[in-house]
Amino acid sequence: MAEMLLSKPSHLTYEQLKSKIETGNMLIPQFQRDFVWNKAEAAKLLDSIFKGYPIGSFILWETKERLRTIKNVGGISLQTPKPGDSVYYVLDGQQRITSIYASLSGAIIGKADYSKLFINLNADESQEIVVMNVDGLQTTDYISITMLLSNSPADIFSIYGSKPKIIEKIFDYQKKFTTYQFPIIEISNADLEVATDIFTRVNNGGKALATFEIMCAKTYDERRNFDLYEKREDQKTRWADIEYETIPDATVLQAAAICISGVCSRKHILNDISKQQFIDTWDDVDNSFSLAIDYIKSAMGVRVSKLLPYDGLLVPFVYYFYKHPKSPTAYENQLLKNYFWRCVLSNRFSDGLESKLAQDVEHVITPILEGKVPTYEKGVDISYDFLKKEGYFSTGNALIKGLLCLLASQHPKSFKNNNEVVIDNDWLSQGNSKNYHHFFPKNYMKKYQPLIPENLVNHIANITIVDSFINKGEIKDKAPSEYMGSYYKSNPEIVTTMQTHLIGDSDEYGVFEDNYSAFFEKRLSAIQAAIKNQLIIIDDLDIVK
């Protein structure tokens, strides 16, 4: 039976607080936000302490866990706790604790010099005692906070010895601060998920910490030189070189969890995967990602990550290469492609991602690894009517992203000179990208063919991938007969060029008659044929007419 969580109110003096920080017994976990208070806020806090006002409790989590932590405060390095010792992680109070420690140690944080906080020895209780500006005051009218608490009476007497009342006031302030009872609440018998839940309830506006933030803290291991945050930064740098840097942290964790145990829910990742399991598996998972990305790029035509219909769709392929770090056979390749496109065409991961990933690894990827043919409970609809209905062009739609991958996989060439169009993440984030060209321009259609519904004009059947210059610099809002007429004259390979856009004979497609209905019907039929012939293995459950 699990131990009951304990929440015990207590208090610390400043010396106890300072000792815990400097010995590494009190730590600030990395998932805490950055130190954001300024000197004015620190001065206000210290003023409250000197006046004996309450400043709120610090919430500390007592545990033997070792998390990724903030290593220094204002350039002052903090000690590493001894292995096996219990430590206290600050769940609430970071800004206040950091302000106090920085002020009393005279730290410099950014451009703020916390040694320049002073007590105005002329002020009374109704005024601000702690100030930042001492202009106009005599040397003996103020004392720095760091000097006040330096425990050096000789230094104090050397400056203020001629003013016994001031000396008395200084020692009174010393006593007030050193005897101040800093309220704390100690949390014990709590696991990491409970501790971070407490953190998010009292901080962060109730917004839960990302699983990745918690796992960075949980898996940090100085002895094994493992820092998940740094590993991911390295990974993202490498993936940027191959245009896959937009894959989110969550997908990486889901893939690692699937490889370790076959499931990938947040609760499972945080509670059931041990630190050692995660670290031991990381390098193999990282290598499997590289293999999966290479495969997705080449086999599925997903040349950049922003064309991925679902980021999570990478996870089953990472699992495949984790278990089988070799190129798939020709038949395995067919089965894997069939699975990928069925997910896209059915909008499989529009909800329930984590549970569906686990199902697919068990019922699709594992059979493929075992040399078996997976079966599917439902077919896909790739009928002309379905594609017409669902083909409205929106780059946030998984089906449209998939169809853009299909168009990109044809290696589209420039209408003007037959050079291959460059595709990269920089221009794929939004539907109004200069590289997405409506073959029948939208403004042309509004002006000359207004009876065609907008949903059929802004449709994947009307989208081609072109270089931005000819799109905005030459084509603009011209009729297809006009701009394509010039390209037919200047590009001797124009027929081949058009085929790379899944556009056949220009007369049949109504190009030179500006016949949108003919073009739409022919182009959508060509896309449908490519799906049937290139992407999936037709099943009895599928709707294809």
pLDDT 10s digits, 36-69: 888 999 999 999 999 999 999 999 999 988 887 7
| Percent of the chain surpassing pLDDT 70 | 95
**Looking at residue 458, what is its pLDDT?**
97
Answer for the pair 90, 26: CB distance below 8 angstroms, yes or no: yes
- 371 phi and psi, to 5 degrees? 80, 20
Q: Amino acid letter at 13?
A: T
Residues 415-435: tens digit of each pLDDT? 999 998 877 665 554 445 677
Structure tokens at 15: 């010396």
Distance CA 123, CA 3 (A): 51
Neighbours of 209 (CB within 10 A): 20
d(CA 234, CA 216): 14
Burial class (CB in 10 A: 0-12, 13-18, 19+), 26: buried
Confidence of residue 79 (pLDDT cuts 50, 70, 90): confident
CB 413 within 8 A of CB 497: yes
Instruction: Identify the pLDDT of residue 445.
Output: 97
Give dist(CA 106, CA 117) in Å, integer: 9
- 35-67 per-residue burial string, b: 16 or more CB within 10 A, e: under 16: bebebeebbebbbbbbeeeebebbbbbbbebbb
Q: Distance between CA 317 and CA 373 in Å, rounded?
A: 16
Q: According to the model, what pLDDT value does residue 431 have?
A: 43
Q: How far apart are CA 384 and CA 544, in angstroms?
A: 8
For 82-121, write each residue's pLDDT tens digit: 778 899 988 888 889 989 988 888 888 888 899 999 999 9
298-317 pLDDT, tens digit per residue, is: 999 888 898 899 999 999 99
Alpha-carbon distance of 360 to 482, in angstroms, equals 49
Residue 78 CA, distance from chain mean position: 29
Query: Rounded mean pLDDT of 234-256?
Result: 96
Neighbouring C-beta atoms of residue 34, cutoff 10 Å:
8
Q: CA 491: distance to chain centroid?
A: 44
**Using the 8-state DSSP alphabet, how is residue 392 labeled?**
B
Provide the pLDDT for residue 84.
Answer: 80
Q: Which tens digit of pLDDT belongs to each residue from 343-372?
A: 999 999 999 999 999 999 999 999 999 999
**According to the model, what pLDDT value does residue 232 have?**
96
Q: What are residue 112's phi and psi, to 5 degrees?
A: -90, 120
How do residues 160-205 score in pLDDT, each as one tens digit?
888 889 999 999 999 999 999 999 999 998 887 788 778 877 775 5
